[in-house]
Amino acid sequence: MTKYIIVGQGLAGTLLAYQMHKNNIPFKIIVDPIQKSASEIAAGLINPLVFKRLTKSWMADSLFPKMYETYNEMEELLSVKFIEQKKMIKPLVEQDIPMWQKRIDQGNMNHYIDRVDNDLRLEGYKAIEHYGSLNQTGACNLNIMIHAMRNFFKQHGYLIKEHLKVEDVTFEDKYVYWKNLSAEKIIFCRGYKDAQNALFPSDSFYLTKGELIEIEANALNEDYILNKNLFVLPTGQKRFKVGATYDWDTINESPTNEGKSDLLTKLDKLIDTDYTILNHWAGVRPTVKDRRPILGIHPHNKRLAIFNGLGTKGVMLAPYFSEQMLQLLENPQTQIDDEVKLDRFF
């Protein structure tokens, strides 16, 4: 008997489990290590702005403090470093500059916009005529975080490495059962696999496949993240993650030649140095039709819950909403943001 069963140990399951551990709440977390996870291949980029209209990303002012606070706490708990702040450079065309200048003058985005300037020379990059530079950006190395947390969960007896079949879960008034385990609630955090979870409405997700590559480039600047039609993220030792593609039509985890050549064409417009391709990955983002996370207890089954829909910005969303999710589980009367409520799909 435990209190909660979490299914899935990507970003969503890991953060929710961390909140439970922190609050001394009993739980088990089930993960199928063979089942691919978007979190293990994601670049983990942190960017508070939407460049298209140069606006703040949804809820950025609330999400950012919670995000850095939570990941720093986890780093301390694990004695492992996985989050790094690094300035992001956004190359601009001349027509973009008035809008950037306007945002700086308005003042409410100065926390995120460092400056707008001209003529930047960075080792290995083509000359950048105009650019904006951003604060508060960086990346979370999710692969390191997820595996360090997996070891931690294992050491504390929380982890069950198995594939859970939804049809093996049974419900009674007081408990939910799976194999020889019983709990008060089960929470599904299976990323895009929950788009086909028979226990929840089937038309809430609008999944997005993404591909990215890893390169090694000895003469490429490692001090900044570059972002122009794609990102170039330094990850140390002259390695860089380059991505990502967006495909809403073919949903699978297979890297393609088209994806790779799309990334390389964009990369070659940006850089001016030799590189070697080390890896090429593909994954599926659990994106939702209205682009908001999904949190909630099933309206017709109080033993069943979901924490999902982290979409394209899981790193920013997971710390804040995992805390809200736990409050909701512990007290179903808790008021959460209407935009993220599971109820919106019923």
Ligand X SMILES: Cc1cc2nc3c(=O)[nH]c(=O)nc-3n(C[C@H](O)[C@H](O)[C@H](O)COP(=O)(O)OP(=O)(O)OC[C@H]3O[C@@H](n4cnc5c(N)ncnc54)[C@H](O)[C@@H]3O)c2cc1C
What track of x and - describes contact with ligand X for positions 161 through 190 (by CB under 6 A)? --xx------------------------xx
Task: Tell whether residue 39 is a contact of ligand X (CB under 6 A).
Answer: yes
DSSP E strand stretches across 135-269: 138-140, 159-161, 169-171, 176-178, 181-183, 185-188, 208-216, 225-227, 231-236, 239-243
CB-based contact 113:104 (threshold 8 Å):
yes
- The verdict on 9 binding ligand X (CB under 6 A) reads yes
Residues 6+ apart with CB under 8 A from 151: none
Nearer to ligand X, 116 or 297 (CB): 297
Question: Contact between 89 and ligand X (CB under 6 A)?
Answer: no
Under a CB-based contact definition with an 8 Å cutoff, are residues 130 and 118 in contact?
yes
Pick one of 138, 234, 243, 319: the residue that binds ligand X (CB under 6 A). 243
Residue 12 makes contact with ligand X by CB under 6 A: yes
Query: Where would I find the H helices in 178-334?
Result: 257-270, 314-330
**Is the distance from CB of 83 to CB of 139 less than 8 angstroms?**
yes
* Size of site (CB under 6 A) for ligand X: 40
Residue 312: CB minimum distance to ligand X, A = 5
When asked if residue 67 is in the footprint of ligand X (CB under 6 A), the reply is no
Cα Rg for the chain, rounded, in angstroms? 21
Tell which one of 3, 25, 32, 87 touches ligand X (CB under 6 A).
32
Pick 2 or 35: Cβ nearer ligand X: 35
Which residue blocks in the chain are alpha helix, DSSP H? 11-22, 38-41, 60-78, 97-106, 142-155, 257-270, 314-330
Point out the residue whose Cβ comes nearest to ligand X: 10
Name the site residues for ligand X (rule: CB under 6 A). Answer: 7-13, 30-32, 35, 37-39, 41-45, 163-164, 189-191, 193, 210, 212, 243-244, 283, 285-286, 308, 310-316
